[in-house]
Amino acid sequence: MRKDLGTRDTAQIIRALLSSDSATALEALKPVPAFASHLGSVMQNYVSLKRSLGFRYRTQELQLLRLDRFLQERPDLAERPISIIIEAWGKRNPTPQHFLECEQTGRILARALQRIDPTVTAPAVDPRLNRQVRRNQRRPYIYSESDVSLLLKTALSFPSPETPGRPLMLYTMLVLAYCVGLRVGEIVRLKVGDIDRADQTLEIRETKFFKSRRLPVTNSVMVALDDYLKARRREGAPGDPSAPLFWQERAAREYRYPTIRALLVQVIRRAGLKPDPGAVGPRIHDLRHSFVVSRILTWYREGVNPQERLPYLVTYLGHKDIHSTLVYITITQELLQHASDRFRSFGARALQAETGGNLCK
């Protein structure tokens, strides 16, 4: 029934079955057809155009699909201008995040319609809205070395009697997330052949921004990968280069993104770093933020100017430009102290050169 109704929510199906009119309640759970509104064909053609030009356009397609579902519920907006449509959609969920999505999606729709009618006007941009959304965003949690040590120990003791290889698998995933800074999606897509033990590198293929990259890793990371590969062979997992690195023995297939994400969240909860209910507390993706902060701190301790090394960090993380990497540089107290000490040293040399003396004694 989940497959037929297009939902993973079993509770919704049970409530519908127990209702007085179960047939109607089950029918209401069925998803609406994609791009079936009065503007659906325009949206769908625009998505196809962008993909023919080499863009993935997945996020934008999902935004347009959400707008399309809203328009299917509001046939009265069929002849209204984009500004009125976006205003009505925004009232459905009056939060800054939703208003910003409405504004962005409205501008995408305007570009699609302008190919047919150049007189179509795009919704105005409100710069205050973007700033408000950024202020409301959760601040990344920067895992300390003791936090990471606790996570690794928790992963190795993870209860899994029916899948004995799972604790070591979760341990290896956490190593890749923190020590290599990989996204969860990149971890999921790793193949056995992506590990080059001779060169001590990892091949990350066609990820975000269409970027593939080869990453050198430390000896400790390679040891963790070797240990996992040995355990994987003992379990009888396929060993050809194209086989998924993280393999489910019982299901005889690779692990999927939702499963891995849920398992790693359980590890964080069992370690006591994240409360049981809700979506609060440290996230998995915060390990990637922690990797960046740890790398910059290491450069400071080694006497290296981090600014000179940022282009290398951009490439290692697989970002399209330095601005994407700057988002990950969370200012911690230790990082601020190192930056302050470096600036004080620089300022002292500048004053000595200008005055001929040492004014900082």
208 is known as an active-site residue? yes
Instruction: Say if CB 246 and CB 176 are below 8 A apart.
Output: no
Residue 4: pLDDT band by 50, 70, 90 thresholds? confident
User: Which pLDDT tens digit goes with each residue over 23-78?
Assistant: 888 887 777 889 999 999 999 999 999 999 988 899 999 999 999 999 999 999 99
- For Cα atoms 333, 335, 340, give the angle at the middle one, nearest 5 degrees: 95
CA-based nearest residue to 59, from 132, 120, 108: 108
User: Catalytic pick from 107, 191, 208, 270?
Assistant: 208
Specify the pLDDT at position 361: 42
Beta bridge partners of 216: 201
Read off the tokens for 309: 């090394």
pTM recorded for the entire structure: 0.74
Is the pLDDT at 338 greater than 70, yes or no?
no
Backbone angles phi, psi at 288, to 5 degrees: -70, -40
Is the pLDDT at 331 greater than 70, yes or no?
no
Q: How far is CA 20 from CA 14, 15, 180, in A?
A: 12, 10, 54
Specify the pLDDT at position 348: 55
Instruction: Say if CB 358 and CB 344 are below 8 A apart.
Output: no
Residue 354: pLDDT band by 50, 70, 90 thresholds? low
CA distance 338 to 335: 5
Specify the pLDDT at position 83: 92
Specify the pLDDT at position 353: 54
153 is known as an active-site residue? no
First-to-last CA distance in the chain? 77
User: Which pLDDT tens digit goes with each residue over 150-177?
Assistant: 999 999 999 988 888 999 999 999 999 9
3-state secondary structure the chain: CHHHHCCCCHHHHHHHHHCCCHHHHHHHHCCCCCCCCCCHHHHHHHHHHHHHCCCCCHHHHHHHHHHHHHHHHCHHHCCCCHHHHHHHHHCCCCCHHHHHHHHHHHHHHHHHHHCCCCCCCCCCCCHHHHHHHHHHCCCCCCCCHHHHHHHHHHHHCCCCCCCCCHHHHHHHHHHHHHHCCCCHHHHHCCEHHHEECCCCEEEECCCHHHCCEEEECCHHHHHHHHHHHHHHHHCCCCCCCCCECCEECCCCEECCHHHHHHHHHHHHHHCCCCCCCCCCCCCCCHHHHHHHHHHHHHHHHCCCCHHHHHHHHHHHHCCCCHHHHHCCCCCCHHHHHHHHHHHHHHHHHHHHHHHCCCCCC
CATH of domain 145-286: 1.10.443.10
CA-based nearest residue to 183, from 215, 220, 223: 215
Specify the pLDDT at position 326: 80
Is the pLDDT at 123 greater than 90, yes or no?
no
Q: How far is CA 351 from CA 303, 342, 355, in A?
A: 21, 14, 6
Read off the tokens for 242: 């194209």
CA-based nearest residue to 25, from 39, 11, 36, 37: 11
Specify the pLDDT at position 358: 46
**Max Cα-Cα span within the chain:** 90
Residue 227: pLDDT band by 50, 70, 90 thresholds? very high
User: Catalytic pick from 183, 232, 261, 274?
Assistant: 183
User: Which pLDDT tens digit goes with each residue over 192-210?
Assistant: 999 999 999 999 987 766 6
Specify the pLDDT at position 180: 95
Give the other-Cβ count within 10 Å of 317's Cβ: 22
Over pLDDT 70: what percentage of the chain? 92
CA distance 190 to 202: 9
What is the average pLDDT value for the chain, to the nearest integer?
A: 87
User: Which pLDDT tens digit goes with each residue over 271-319?
Assistant: 999 988 777 889 999 999 999 999 998 988 888 888 889 999 998 998 8
